[in-house]
Structure 1
Amino acid sequence: MATSADAAAIAAVLRDFQAEYEEFAPEQDWWAGRIAALMDAGDSAVLLVETGADELPVGVAYLRFRPSLYQDAPEASLAELYVRPDLRGQGLGRRLLTAAMDHAVDRGATSMDLSTTSADTAAVALYESMGFDRHERSGPDVTAYSFEIDLRAPSQQAPAAG
């Protein structure tokens, strides 16, 4: 589990993620400060994968927690999941996602949601293989997917309203 002291390394990995998908990334120092502040506030958690002798992160899972309107348990949102392209296909993304789900359960969350697009076929396949339910919304250039999973064991799930 990362701490706010890891914020600069987290921001660096997330900058690589944003660059790969040609998305905006805030200025490095500002972003590191923002990440540290969010982690210190307790509503965010970050898990890292480090490989090699330099122990620099090569993958990140960024979770946000929020109160639920419908139950006395937090909801977890996987804001980012990223593994460096040259290290994909080795199970690191699955390991990060599993650890993120386990951490969410440890914090009392009963569900997790996330979003991606049809362009990220590897992520879509990973989420579906891990049991997430997919919902889609089509736009002119891309289909946006939202995913959700119930983190409770079947015996703990509330009965459906009816």
Structure 2
Amino acid sequence: MIETVPPHDDDRLSATARLMHDFNTEYDEPSPGPDALAGILARRIADGQATVLLARDDAGEPVGIAIARLSPSLWSDALEAYLAELYVVPPRRGQGFGRELLTAFLNTSRDAGADYAFLITSETDVSAQRAYEAAGFRRTEGEGGPVMLAYEQDL
């Protein structure tokens, strides 16, 4: 089951923040911690800058998240949706939760007024690439084109 997380639902915010923290911990990335993340998420949802989706299994346990950041497009009067985070807990991978989250991300982004969606994944994460391509995403540099690089810098 996929739920949209509202800005004032402490239980869902806490579950989402815990999964975000676990995601960063799994990949040795820094995290400000679940409490700080819950506050940040609440503000981003409330101001319309993010849509947060939470996947639960049949027992109601949180098993995955998708977070979309919406911004005005430079190419149309619509919005663009960036899939900022997609995570499924390791024991539940391969069970369709990622696919459900991707579908919900695309649907909620379209419903919010987006006409374009994009994401970034690593060159080595072949399973993620397959999932994104199965959901209709295509490599922006074209088949057989150059590998695109993502750069970042703390400000």
After TM superposition, the score normalised by the length of structure 2 is 0.83
Q: CA deviation at 1:40?
A: 0.6
| 8 Å contact from structure 1 (residues 61, 96) kept in 2 | yes
Consecutive unaligned residues of structure 2, counting only runs of 5 or more, are 142-146, 151-155
Distance of 2:112 and 2:38 partners within structure 1 = 24
| 8 Å contact from structure 2 (residues 81, 117) kept in 1 | yes
In structure 1, give the amino acid aligned to 2:6: T
| 8 Å contact from structure 1 (residues 82, 93) kept in 2 | yes
Of residues 113, 116, 121, the one that matches 1:108 is 113
Q: CA deviation at 1:71?
A: 1.1
Consecutive unaligned residues of structure 1, counting only runs of 5 or more, are 139-143, 145-162
Q: CA deviation at 1:116?
A: 1.1
Distance of 2:120 and 2:82 partners within structure 1 = 9
| 8 Å contact from structure 1 (residues 7, 32) kept in 2 | yes
Of residues 10, 27, 32, the one that matches 1:21 is 27
Distance of 1:27 and 1:15 partners within structure 2 = 6
- Residues 1:77 and 2:87 are matched in the alignment: no
| Identity value in percent | 43
- Residues 1:49 and 2:48 are matched in the alignment: no
Superposed CA deviations along residues 66-103 of structure 1, whole A, max 9, x for unmatched, are 01122111111000011111011111101110111011
Q: CA deviation at 1:128?
A: 1.3
Higher fraction of strand: 1
Superposed CA deviations along residues 102-131 of structure 1, whole A, max 9, x for unmatched, are 111111110101001023221111011222
- Residues 1:35 and 2:41 are matched in the alignment: yes
In structure 1, give the amino acid aligned to 2:119: L
| 8 Å contact from structure 1 (residues 9, 56) kept in 2 | no
Q: CA deviation at 1:52?
A: 4.4
Distance of 1:14 and 1:82 partners within structure 2 = 8
Q: Choose between structure 1 and 2 for higher RCO, CA contacts under 8 A separated by at least 6 residues.
A: 2
In structure 1, give the amino acid aligned to 2:102: L
Distance of 2:23 and 2:13 partners within structure 1 = 15
Q: CA deviation at 1:56?
A: 3.3
In structure 1, give the amino acid aligned to 2:5: A
| 8 Å contact from structure 2 (residues 99, 131) kept in 1 | yes
Runs of 4+ in 1 over 4 A off after TM superposition: none
Please identify the structure whose Cα radius of gyration is greater.
1
Superposed CA deviations along residues 24-74 of structure 1, whole A, max 9, x for unmatched, are 111221111111100111111011111143x23110010010011221111
After TM superposition, the score normalised by the length of structure 1 is 0.80
